[in-house]
């Protein structure tokens, strides 16, 4: 009887996994603007527990209920710092969405890695996910992403891990990060890919033309954009000068800040891109949340694109 019950449970888990694989329209829900946490710990602001708790509550009050992590952030320390704060925050687990990424073997002080590389065997993916859940003290992940593609990754190994984690409820959704359309198709041939997090901004807009966003829109994959402000405020060159000129013009039209306009430009795309902001500034978080209410006209959207490219569209 025990074996029959166990086999029945495994069959149900398998059926649920296969159903998710064949049902791309079943999407998880994330806040329109996502709060990136890479800079909260050792790789940025070195926030203490109380400061992290305060920033969590502030982000949520601004509508940013999704928090983006990766195991490597802070040389594998930021998840634990966040988890300590989250456990004392009083925030209900169901009111937030927590993302993490795995697969990069980083050369730092906490792991004995000879060289930076990627690892995607099934046992390692499962171990990484379970470790992130423990460090974040969150019970489960709303989304687990493969952080970067590896030439050695095999879709069957990835599928073993994603099936186990999904069927056991340790992750609610599975996806990839920085993957090309063909790399994504390799993984989604065996696993339900619901998200691809890529670099995308007004100055890094290759995804508009290399098929990446077309592919995500076609296959109901949610795009997330890291570094959504691009190099607009980091570099001074002909491209950023042109963009600033248009931004200043549009700032008056929409009564919006330059940063809000850059995020609104991303939000305009029909694929439904979620910008992942990296700031730990309360003022900038609040400002970013306002971008969701800005609806750029098509003409103004193209003004910014043309400014970035430096020539009219074909």
Rounded to the nearest integer, the mean pLDDT of the chain is 94
d(Cα 299, Cα 250) in Å, to the nearest integer?
11
User: Hey, which residues are catalytic here?
Assistant: 73
Looking at the whole model, is its pTM more than 0.95?
A: no
DSSP 277: E
Q: What is the pLDDT of residue 6?
A: 44
Run of H or E including 145: strand 143-146
Alpha helices in the chain (DSSP H): 2-21, 49-61, 73-76, 78-88, 122-136, 155-167, 181-188, 212-218, 238-254, 258-267, 282-289, 298-309
Q: What is the band of 70 on the pLDDT scale with cuts at 50, 70, 90? A: very high
pLDDT(1) > 50: no
CA angle at 101 for the pair 95 and 106, rounded to the nearest 5°: 140
Q: What is the pLDDT of residue 14?
A: 54
The CATH superfamily label for domain 2-199 reads: NADP-dependent oxidoreductase domain (3.20.20.100)
d(Cα 22, Cα 231) in Å, to the nearest integer?
39
Q: 17-68, pLDDT tens digit by residue?
A: 555 555 544 578 999 999 999 999 999 999 999 999 999 999 999 999 999 9
- Cα–Cα distances (Å) from 265 to 115, 202, 275, 304, in that order, read 38, 8, 10, 8
Q: 123-163, pLDDT tens digit by residue?
A: 999 999 999 999 999 999 999 999 999 999 999 999 999 99
Q: What is the pLDDT of residue 25?
A: 45
Rounded to the nearest 5 percent, the helix, strand and coil shares of the chain are: 50, 15, 40
pLDDT(16) > 90: no
Range of weakest confidence among 11-15, 56-60, 94-98, 175-179: 11-15
Q: 212-224, pLDDT tens digit by residue?
A: 999 999 999 999 9
Long-range CB pairs of 48-51, under 8 A, 24+ apart, other chains included: 49/81, 49/84, 49/85, 49/88, 50/85
């Amino acid at each position: 009887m025990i074996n029959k019950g166990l086999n029945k449970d495994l069959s149900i888990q398998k059926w649920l996994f296969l159903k998710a694989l064949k049902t791309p329209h079943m999407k998880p829900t994330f806040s329109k603007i996502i709060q990136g946490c890479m800079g909260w710990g050792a790789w940025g602001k070195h926030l203490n527990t109380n400061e992290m708790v305060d920033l969590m509550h502030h982000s949520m009050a601004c509508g940013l209920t999704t928090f983006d992590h990766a195991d490597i952030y802070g040389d594998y320390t930021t998840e634990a710092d966040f988890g300590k704060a989250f456990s004392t925050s009083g925030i209900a687990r169901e009111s937030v969405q927590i993302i993490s990424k795995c697969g990069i073997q980083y050369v730092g002080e906490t792991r004995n890695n000879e060289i930076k590389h990627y690892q995607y065997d099934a046992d390692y993916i499962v171990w990484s996910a379970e470790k992130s859940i423990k460090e974040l003290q969150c019970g489960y992940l709303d989304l687990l992403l493969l952080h970067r593609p590896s030439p050695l990754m095999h879709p069957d190994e990835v599928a073993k891990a994603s099936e186990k984690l999904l069927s056991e409820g340790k992750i609610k959704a599975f996806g990839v990060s920085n993957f090309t359309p063909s790399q994504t198709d390799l993984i989604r041939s065996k696993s339900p890919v619901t998200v691809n997090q890529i670099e995308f901004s007004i100055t890094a807009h290759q995804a508009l033309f290399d098929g990446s966003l077309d592919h995500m829109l076609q296959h109901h994959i949610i795009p997330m954009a890291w570094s959504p402000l691009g190099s607009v405020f980091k570099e001074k060159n002909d491209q950023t000068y042109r963009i600033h000129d248009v931004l200043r013009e549009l700032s008056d039209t929409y009564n919006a800040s330059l940063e809000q306009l850059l995020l609104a430009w991303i939000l305009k795309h029909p694929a439904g891109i979620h910008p992942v902001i990296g700031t730990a500034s309360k003022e900038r978080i609040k400002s970013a949340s306002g971008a969701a209410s800005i609806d750029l006209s098509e003409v103004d959207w193209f003004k910014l694109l043309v400014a970035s490219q430096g020539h009219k569209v074909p």
